[in-house]
Chains A and B, each alone.
Chain A
Amino acid sequence: MLLNFFRSPFSSLRLSLLLAAVPALLFLAGCDREPQGPVLKIGYMNCNNEQETMQRFAPLTRYLSEQAGVRFEAGEFALTHTNSLLYIVLQHNAGLKLVAADKRGHFGARSAGTLIARKDSGIRTLEDIRGKRLVFGPAMAPTGYLAQYDLMLNAGIDPETDLAYYAIPSGSFKHEKVLYGLYFGAFDVAAAPALDLELMAADGKINPDDFVVLAQSPMIPYCTFGSSADLDPAILARVRKALLGLKTQDTVEIDGERVKVLQSAWVEGFEELLDSDYDIIRDMARRTNMPPYQTF
Chain B
Amino acid sequence: MTFDRFDRFHGLLLLLVAGGLVLLLAVAESGGGRSAAGVDKAMEQDLDYQARVAFVQKLYGPVEDLRRDGQLQQALLKLDELERRYPGEAHGFILRGEILSRMGVLAEAVASYVAALRLNGDYVDARSPLSRQTEIRQLVDDGLRILGGQARSHPENVSLAAAVKNVHYLQSRLAGGCE
Contacts and interface: CB of A to CB of B under 8 A. Distances in A.
Interface string A234-256: 00000000001000000000000
A39 to B, nearest CB: 28
Contacts of A198: 76-77, 80
Contact of B73 (A109, A114, A202): A114
A46 B29 CA distance: 78
A113 to B, nearest CB: 11
A213 B80 contact: no
Contact of A106 (B74, B100, B150): B100
A110 B74 CA distance: 17
B108 interface: yes
Given A107-B105, A272-B157, A216 B72 contact: yes
B108 A106 contact: yes
A244 B74 contact: no
Contacts of A197: 73, 77
Interface in B63-115: 71-74, 76-78, 80-81, 84, 96, 100, 103-105, 107-108, 111
Contacts of A292: none
B160 interface: yes
Interface in A73-109: 106-109
Interface residues on A, range: 20 to 34
Contact of A271 (B74, B96, B100, B159): B159
Interface string A101-139: 000001111101010000000000000000000000000
Contacts of B81: 201, 208
A272 B108 contact: no
Given A213-B74, A216-B73, A272 B158 contact: yes
Given A213-B71, A272-B160, A218 B80 contact: no
Interface string A150-194: 000000000000000000000000000000000000000000001
B103 A219 contact: yes
A110 B108 CA distance: 10
Contacts of B145: none
B154 interface: yes
Interface in A189-220: 194, 197-198, 201-202, 208, 212-213, 216, 218-219
A194 B80 CA distance: 13
Contact of B105 (A219, A272, A274): A219
A273 interface: yes
B83 to A, nearest CB: 10
A273 B159 CA distance: 8
Given A218-B104, A271-B159, A273-B159, 7 more contacts: A106-B108, A108-B108, A201-B81, A208-B77, A272-B158, A272-B159, A274-B150
Interface of B: 71-74, 76-78, 80-81, 84, 96, 100, 103-105, 107-108, 111, 150, 154, 157-160
The 10 A-B pairs at the shortest CB distance, nearest first, are namely A208-B77, A272-B159, A271-B159, A108-B108, A213-B73, A272-B157, A107-B105, A106-B76, A201-B77, A216-B73
